Structure 1
Amino acid sequence: MLNRLRDSLQPTMEKLGAGFAATGLSANFWTGLGLAVAFAAGAAYASPSLGVNAYAAAVIGGILLLVSGFFDVIDGAVARVTKQASKKGAFLDSSFDKIAEVTIFAGIAIGSLASPAWALVALGLSLLVSYTRARAESLGVELKGIGIGERAERLLIVAIVGMLPFAGSVNWAMIIVSAVAGITLIQRIVATAKKL
């Protein structure tokens, strides 16, 4: 869903990419920074287990998750502007994305911000959505933009719904992510099966 928005923002992203590229730091640096911020978000989500206020943890975790997502967009923009897009960069980006997702959902479960069962379901379905795309593309089927909830949409749900000021907001975020990821998984399986 966000791919359409991303396409309309392409000129702005190119300007941002040029600005960040002017620092002389590589796209892989921004990928790594995005992962580091995701680790910080996971730690924030887990912090209620150490006595931190649950709502404060959800807000801090959500803000850090949004910042991490911003750097995840910047790394690709920098790679395109500097014409340094590479298979290595694409591999690192995809791998770091999955590591970040595991960190976020694990932090939420550890911090008891949501039912561990819902966090596990949300994580499992999210990883399956990514797996189906990777497997389909290895068979020559393009799945970019297929499904109602790619990674960006799912993490936006976690960050934004989780910051809403009512009890159980993060748990509701896990339920919504599970539903969205489950629908997306089915959509991708069907789309791939039709093309093979």
Structure 2
Amino acid sequence: MAKRIIIVGAGFAGLMSALAAKRLINITLQQTPESAEEIEVAVIAPDDKLVVRPRLYEENVAAMSEPLFELFKTTGVRFIQGSVQSINVENQQVIVNAARLSSTLSYDHLILAAGSHNILPADVPGLKEHTFAVDHLERAVQLETHLKNLPSIQATSARNTVVVCGGGYTGLELAAELPGRLAKIPGLGKQDARHRH
């Protein structure tokens, strides 16, 4: 009976796990074909695209993804479009929701590489309405759209002020990138761009 490795997530960790597993399986097949077992490698994710998440602070974020279909097809990785709703560890099964249908898949090995996202505290007034994030593609696109729409908003000190929360790699890169991006937006004066520095 064929064995199955399921990888939840198609980000960098999920992609590299799938490719490494297929590579190891192929090496084993070449070295000892008579004793090698049939092993399926399957990736479960909402989209078969790799989002270049470390660069979502940059301009043109809508282009920060690469399709994975051909890579999966070439390497023999099975792609299952959907989301894992639950994991039954005792029976080694995952419940997958895909296109409004649920299915159960068994596994021999499971790799969780689903990633993470920021959670905004619900009890901070104005936080949801006035903040943006660059932790996911859709949220980074919202920030870029907001920046491009700034010229249509009346110039005030509030409009001309940007606060970056977080002093890690992403926060520092975003803070360094924003002045140059704002200076290139048509309709924003040089004074506005300098004010945001």
Higher Cα radius of gyration: 2
Q: Tell me which interval the TM-score lies in, with the shorter structure as reference length.
A: under 0.3
TM-score, reference length from structure 2: 0.24
Structure showing the higher strand proportion among its residues: 2
Structure showing the higher helix proportion among its residues: 1
TM-score, reference length from structure 1: 0.24
